[in-house]
Each structure stands twice: as C-alpha cells, then as structure tokens.
C-alpha cells in the first residue's frame, strides 16, 4: 500500500506528521504535529510523537492508562470551492480492542468535530493498523477541515493508538460543481396610463 501523502495534489501540511509542536495547555502532554491542532471531547489522553508506524517515524500517539477518551487531531486546508476532496490515513494502529477510528471532513472549514456540517467516513473498530478510512466531501468555501477521530470506549489498562500519514487531495473521479447561472429578470414594462 502507498502512503496517502503521495497522492497527486495532496494538500495537507506535514502529511507524514514528521515535525511536532508542544501544545500542552494544562493536563496531560499534548505534543501535536506542526500544522495540526487537537481536540478532546472526553477524558484527557496524552498525545505525543512515537516510532510506531509503517511509513517512517514519527507518528502521532494517543494513549491513556485506564481511562476512556474521545480525541483526535485536525487541520484546516485551503481548497477550491465546488471541488470534491478525498481524505485517507495510512496508519491508524491500536494496541488493544475498543478503539474506533474514522476521518471527517467539514466542507465549511469549521473546527468543531461535533458540528452537523462534518461529513464522516466509515468507522473501524478492528485491531488492524491500516483500516480503510476514506472519506470525500465537496468544498463549499475556500477552507476544508480534516479530522482524525479516535473514540476509546473501554479501557484495558495502558491503551495506545498511533496515527500517521493523513492526506487530502482533489478526487479525480468526482467532477467539480458547475456554477448555476443566475437567472436574469427582464422587468415587465409598465402599461401606459389611460387618460380620461
């Protein structure tokens, strides 16, 4: 399998998650790939770089010790309105069961993973490092947000999941939307007034 980072026209910055920034703001460590940000909806998982990946270290690790969590990373990407974009992840490897992984796209460029505008692809709960988590959406503006979501529902002790190589590119199989012409309105001439 090839990394999504090699897809023609890939737009994600730091697609291979090679460079990390310390974005800790209290609570557990939040070392996040440069160009990405994080969200935490439940729990407080530690997020840091790791060597666990097929594509060459580092990768993004999320882990907790005995506590379920819902968290992930996202990136806002500059896009062309009307174009369909496809996203995929090369590595989404859990060490235990009970890890849901999925990708989402917000065509409006929002940063809330719970927003109704986010289009989510299929989920994988399998203990497999390379699930097919492809998702597509048509851009409605000049920014699209790519989310990598992890929902860890049941702790088995020290639980880890590793993410790497998250790409977004124009879908060559989906044509761009053709703009609908604005209808022109020809005013009806006012009838002549009758003189009495």
* Tens-binned pLDDT, residue by residue, of the chain (196 aa): 689 999 999 999 999 999 999 999 888 999 999 999 999 999 999 999 999 888 788 999 999 988 999 999 999 999 999 999 999 999 999 998 899 999 999 999 999 999 999 999 999 999 999 999 999 999 999 999 999 999 999 888 888 999 999 999 999 888 766 555 555 555 555 655 565 5
Question: What's the half-sphere exposure (Cβ side, CA atoms, 13 Å) at 160?
Answer: 14
Size (the chain), residues = 196
Which among 133, 14, 136 has a CA at the least distance from the CA of 75? 14
Confidence at residue 193, expressed as pLDDT on a 0 to 100 scale:
59
Q: Which of 139, 146, 141, 143 is nearest to 171 (CA)?
A: 139
pLDDT of residue 53: 86
Residue among 159, 30, 183 at smallest CA distance from 101: 159
pLDDT attached to residue 54? 82
């Amino acid at each position: 399998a090839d990394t999504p980072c090699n897809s023609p026209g890939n737009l994600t910055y730091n697609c291979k998650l090679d460079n990390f920034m310390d974005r800790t703001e209290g609570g557990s460590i939040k070392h996040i790939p440069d160009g990405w940000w994080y969200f935490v909806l439940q729990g407080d998982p530690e997020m840091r770089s790791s060597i666990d990946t097929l594509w060459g270290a580092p990768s993004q690790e999320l882990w907790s010790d005995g506590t379920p969590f819902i968290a992930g990373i996202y990136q806002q990407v500059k896009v062309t309105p009307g174009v369909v974009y496809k996203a995929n992840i090369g590595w989404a490897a859990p060490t235990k069961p009970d890890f849901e992984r999925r990708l989402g796209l917000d065509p409006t460029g929002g940063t809330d993973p719970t927003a109704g505008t986010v289009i989510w692809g299929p989920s994988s709960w399998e203990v497999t490092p390379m699930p097919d988590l492809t998702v597509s959406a048509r851009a409605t503006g000049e920014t699209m947000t790519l989310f990598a979501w992890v929902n860890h529902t049941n702790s088995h002790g020290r639980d880890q999941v590793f993410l790497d190589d998250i790409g977004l590119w124009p879908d060559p199989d989906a044509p761009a939307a053709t703009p609908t012409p604005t209808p022109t309105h020809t005013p009806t001439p006012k009838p002549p007034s009758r003189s009495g």
